[in-house]
């Protein structure tokens, strides 16, 4: 009998090892496919545009062998835009993953703490009252073009986002960072920033209002090598933190009580995670405008397909976010017929049906139960 039980346990552990190896191979194959997808879409997006350049001419310009105009299109317009899609997509997706893990909410997103709302208010304040010069130019468009300072707009948007993050986290620290408190505080602050933006826009001139509203559209066309570098540094720090804290984030999935029993400082981890996730979002939104649903869709799909292990979900979320934003940007330039549509509108169009599908799926499951 004992010999039978030993053999049974041996077969059980062998089966577990086999399943683990199969799962690891599957996840490795998915990560390889995602990496290949990013590279493929990078070059596909590089070849898409309204300039009429052929594939041969595009690659010649990429090798700096084409005409000056063709090289300018590839190196000054398209490559900074594509790099912004890769960097911002990865940053927003990992930010959403950190939000969902720390708030224990599958529908949490980078904008949960009202970061995007604060950035929009800061940008509107800069455009309408400050860098845009509308107090002196009124409805004079040429005066506006002469006075606008896009870097000042991005800086003020980032400062307001950062102030909002610190305020919310400071308030939540008083309540031990309970996930429900964080979400409620984020919703409340988001509503405050939205109301303040509405009041500001109400008193804006026609040109000021138009410029402020246009800024809120997610637009990768604003990207430059300098903004890409700033975003890349911030996103790299955030992703490195998520990779280093992968085991602690895995422990957090078991609940606060279980994580504390393992000796984990839950409050410190949650503060650092939410702060870095919000900073990644703030930097991307400040430079590119509001890009919705990337931080909710990609982590959610990755966890459904590959499980909850942050050793896998962090790189997979980063790669899938880059793919989604590259795809959305390529579509925006392809269907725009000469004018690139706001990429934020494309991601929202893709994200809204997904959001409804989640609601319907959960309703069916609860009904079955």
Report which of 27, 104, 107, 184 is spatially closest to residue 361, judged by C-alpha positions: 107
Q: What would be the CATH architecture of the domain defined by 23-336?
A: Orthogonal Bundle (1.10)
CA distance 342 to 328: 9
Phi then psi for 148, rounded to 5 degrees?
A: -70, 145
* pLDDT (0 to 100) of residue 369: 41
pLDDT tens string 136-171: 444 444 444 444 566 788 889 999 999 999 999 888
Judge residue 113's burial from the number of C-beta atoms within 10 Å of its C-beta, 0-12 exposed, 13-18 middle, 19 or more buried.
Answer: buried
pLDDT confidence of residue 31: 96
**pTM of the full predicted structure?**
0.87
Please list the pLDDT of the chain residue by residue as tens digits (369 residues): 444 434 444 443 344 456 667 788 899 999 999 999 999 999 999 998 777 788 899 989 999 888 999 999 999 999 999 999 999 999 999 999 999 999 988 888 888 889 999 999 999 998 887 644 444 444 444 444 444 566 788 889 999 999 999 999 888 887 777 888 888 899 899 999 999 999 999 988 888 888 888 888 888 988 999 999 999 999 999 999 999 999 999 999 988 888 989 889 998 999 999 999 999 999 999 999 999 889 988 998 899 889 899 999 999 999 999 999 999 999 888 886 666 788 888 888 877 777 677 667 655 444 444
pLDDT at 113: 86
Q: Domain spans of the chain?
A: 23-336
8 A C-beta contact, residue 87 and residue 228? yes
Question: Alpha helices, DSSP H only, in the chain?
Answer: 2-47, 55-62, 68-72, 79-103, 115-129, 134-137, 141-147, 150-173, 179-202, 206-216, 225-244, 246-252, 256-261, 266-288, 294-306, 310-334, 343-368
Q: Check residue 11 and give its pLDDT.
A: 40
CA terminus-to-terminus distance, the chain = 41
Give the residue carrying structure tokens 């041969």.
Answer: 56
**Per-residue confidence (pLDDT) for residue 15, from 0 to 100:** 46
Residue 171 pLDDT: 84
């Amino acid at each position: 009998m004992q010999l039978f039980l030993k053999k049974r346990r041996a077969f059980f552990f062998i089966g577990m090892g086999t399943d683990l190896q199969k799962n690891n191979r599957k996840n490795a194959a998915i990560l390889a496919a995602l990496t290949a997808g990013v590279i493929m879409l990078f070059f596909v997006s590089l070849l898409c545009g309204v300039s009429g350049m052929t594939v041969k001419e595009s690659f010649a310009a990429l090798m700096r062998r084409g005409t000056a105009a063709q090289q300018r299109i590839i190196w000054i317009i398209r490559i900074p835009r594509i790099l912004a899609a890769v960097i911002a997509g990865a940053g927003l997706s990992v930010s959403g993953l950190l939000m969902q893990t720390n708030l224990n909410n599958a529908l949490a997103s980078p904008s949960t703490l009202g970061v995007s709302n604060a950035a929009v208010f800061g940008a509107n304040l800069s455009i309408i009252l400050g860098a845009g010069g509308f107090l002196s130019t009124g409805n004079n468009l040429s005066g506006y073009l002469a006075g606008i300072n896009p870097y000042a707009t991005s800086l003020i948007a980032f400062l307001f986002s950062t102030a909002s993050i610190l305020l919310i986290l400071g308030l939540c620290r008083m309540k031990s960072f309970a996930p429900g408190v964080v979400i409620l505080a984020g919703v409340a602050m988001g509503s405050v920033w939205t109301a303040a933006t509405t009041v500001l826009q109400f008193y804006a001139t026609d040109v000021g209002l138009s410029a402020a509203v246009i800024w809120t559209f997610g637009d990768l066309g604003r990207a430059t090598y300098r903004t890409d570098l700033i975003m890349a540094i911030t996103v790299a720090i955030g992703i490195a933190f998520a990779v280093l804290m992968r085991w602690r984030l895995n422990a957090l999935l078991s609940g606060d009580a279980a994580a504390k029993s393992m000796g984990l400082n839950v409050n410190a981890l949650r503060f650092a995670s939410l702060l870095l996730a919000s900073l990644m979002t703030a930097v991307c939104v400040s430079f590119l405008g509001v890009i919705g649903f990337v931080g909710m869709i990609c982590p959610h799909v990755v966890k459904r397909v590959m499980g909850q292990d942050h050793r896998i979900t962090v790189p997979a979320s980063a790669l899938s976010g880059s793919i989604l934003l590259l795809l959305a940007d390529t579509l925006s330039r392809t269907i725009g017929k000469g004018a690139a549509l706001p990429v934020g509108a494309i991601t929202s169009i893709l994200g809204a049906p997904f959001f409804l599908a989640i609601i319907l799926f959960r309703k069916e499951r609860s009904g079955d139960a």
